[in-house]
Amino acid sequence: MIEADDAGDAGERQHTRFMLLYALAAAGGAMAYIPFLTILLPVQVEAVASGQHVTWLAYCAFAGAISASISNILFGWLSDRTGNRGGWIAAGLLLSCTLLVAMSRADGLSELVGLLVAWQISLNMMLSPLAAMAGDFVPDRQKGLLGGLLAFAPALGAASGALVTIPGLADTDARLVLVASLVALCVLPVLLFARPRHFPELMTPAAGQQGPRDPARRKLVIRMWLARLLVQIAEAALFAYLYIWLRSISAEIGDNDAARVFGLVLFVAVPFTLLVGRWADRNNRPIMPLSVCAMVTTVALGAMALAPDLPLALVAYGLFGLASSIFLALHSAQTLRVLPRPQHRARDLGLFNLTNTMPSLVMPGLALAMVPVFGFSGLFVALAVLVAVAALLLATVPRAA
């Protein structure tokens, strides 16, 4: 399982088979949570929460974020210690798909939260070693391309949400079975057929002036971590409340409409991310595109706050989704470049994963504080300020980084 092929030298590239199968597996990881958290969970909560759906979603987001944060670091550490990424991925795949299918049986808040926590733990058993696999096998000269390929993950995740919510296609139980089946079909090929080329330099710890105690490297890691955290707070807010925000503008918006809007934006982002990622590789400018995307995301959030009707709101959200998707995909790839210790790669990625889960702890309180008083416009203004800080952090990174 995930057997290495021939060793590559310092000038070779990872072969296309692994790159494509890894991108497919990353898409499977996204399919495991995007349809459920963006569409299926809010719809289930709205059906059983008796008008308390915003509060219920906040509780679910909080519990899920805590369990995801801890389990991602734990299983990353375990996969580092055992050196067996594939075994952990396979076990997490089986458990998370089983628990996802069981989610439809929850009809109360405590039962729903309990299943959600168990599902998040098993999901991160799969996602943490899967993320580290890219660092094990993709050389720095292909990190931009990797970021472009990773843009397929949220796009296909959103597409799966649009697929399973097609009216009349499947009931609640069948939707979850469909999602679990899609996840398995996407993740299993990289475990069985990838045979990646091995690059010894990717498994050699950084030393000397480039080591983990190097102040410049440490500052870059901190800036990357903080910038992603701030952008992810905005992303998490739209992730959880896109459906409800669109419904607040037009009651005619349904769950499938929201899924199609979400998916369309992410698919449009894919070719742009590939182009920007290849440009970053050719010009050795890994950080600059991140700063530009954060600036554009700031502008888009301001436009969303001011949008008076549905068409303008959709255009503004499209710009937000495009810029933030490019940012997050390229950031995921470039993070692998700056982490100094491959022997702790999955564990350190788990610490970076806190930037994905912590926003779900911050966002519910921010939303509950802002939306009832200032509406979604006030929330988007606050988010725009946070993302502007992220743009500034990355814009001031030295050229050589």
Which DSSP letter does residue 38 get?
I
Give the pLDDT of residue 182. Answer: 95
Q: Which two tokens stand for residue 238?
A: 């739209």
Average pLDDT over the chain, rounded to an integer: 85
Give the pLDDT of residue 212. Answer: 45
Give the pLDDT of residue 210. Answer: 45
Q: Are 319 and 296 spatial neighbours (Cβ–Cβ below 8 Å)? A: yes
Give the pLDDT of residue 256. Answer: 67
Write down the residue that tokens 């660092």 correspond to.
135
Q: How many helices (H) and strands (E) would you count in the chain?
A: 14, 0
Q: What is the largest CA-CA distance in the chain?
A: 61
In one-letter notation, the amino acid at residue 91 is A
Give the pLDDT of residue 37. Answer: 84
Give the pLDDT of residue 23. Answer: 94
Q: Which two tokens stand for residue 85?
A: 């990424």
Rounded-to-integer distance, Cα 379 and Cα 274, Å: 31
Give the pLDDT of residue 295. Answer: 96
Give the pLDDT of residue 366. Answer: 80
Q: What are the tens digits of pLDDT across the range 48-62?
A: 767 677 777 778 878
Rounded-to-integer distance, Cα 206 and Cα 351, Å: 18
Q: Which helix (H) or strand (E) holds 157?
A: helix 152-164
Strand blocks (E) in 209-331: none
Q: How many CA atoms lie within 13 A of 23 on its CB side?
A: 20
Give the pLDDT of residue 157. Answer: 84
Q: What are the tens digits of pLDDT across the range 254-292?
A: 666 776 777 788 788 889 999 999 998 888 888 899 999
Give the pLDDT of residue 192. Answer: 93
Give the pLDDT of residue 400. Answer: 54
Q: Which two tokens stand for residue 289?
A: 């595109």
Cα dist from 119 to 87, 126, 300, whole Å: 18, 11, 33
Give the pLDDT of residue 296. Answer: 96
Confirm whether pTM is higher than 0.85: no
Q: Which two tokens stand for residue 125?
A: 């058993």
DSSP secondary structure, 302-348, as one string: HHHHH--SHHHHHHHHHHHHHHHHHHHHHHHHHHHHH---GGGHHHH
Q: Where residue 203 falls among pLDDT bands split at 50, 70, 90? A: confident
What share of the chain has pLDDT > 90, as a percent?
A: 38
Give the pLDDT of residue 129. Answer: 95
Angle at 114 between CA 109 and CA 117, to 5 degrees: 120
Q: What are the tens digits of pLDDT across the range 207-248?
A: 543 444 567 778 888 999 999 999 999 988 887 777 778 777
Give the pLDDT of residue 152. Answer: 87
195: buried, middle or exposed (CB in 10 Å: 19+, 13-18, 0-12)? middle
| 183 vs 104 pLDDT, higher one | 183
Q: Which two tokens stand for residue 208?
A: 């000397």
Per-residue pLDDT, averaged over 13-32, amounts to 93
Per-residue pLDDT, averaged over 107-129, amounts to 90
Q: Are 29 and 153 spatial neighbours (Cβ–Cβ below 8 Å)? A: yes
Q: Is 83 left (phi over 0), alpha (psi -120 to 50) or beta?
A: left
Write down the residue that tokens 């045979």 correspond to.
195
Write down the residue that tokens 């958290």 correspond to.
37
φ, ψ dihedrals at 223, nearest 5°:
-65, -45
Q: What are the tens digits of pLDDT across the range 153-166?
A: 888 887 888 788 88
Give the pLDDT of residue 376. Answer: 82
User: Comparing 84-93, 122-131, 172-181, 295-304, which segment has the lowest mean pLDDT?
Assistant: 172-181
Strand partners, 198: 7
Would the CA dihedral through 72, 74, 77, 78 be positive or negative? Answer: negative
| 316 vs 401 pLDDT, higher one | 316
Give the pLDDT of residue 5. Answer: 62
Strand partners, 7: 198
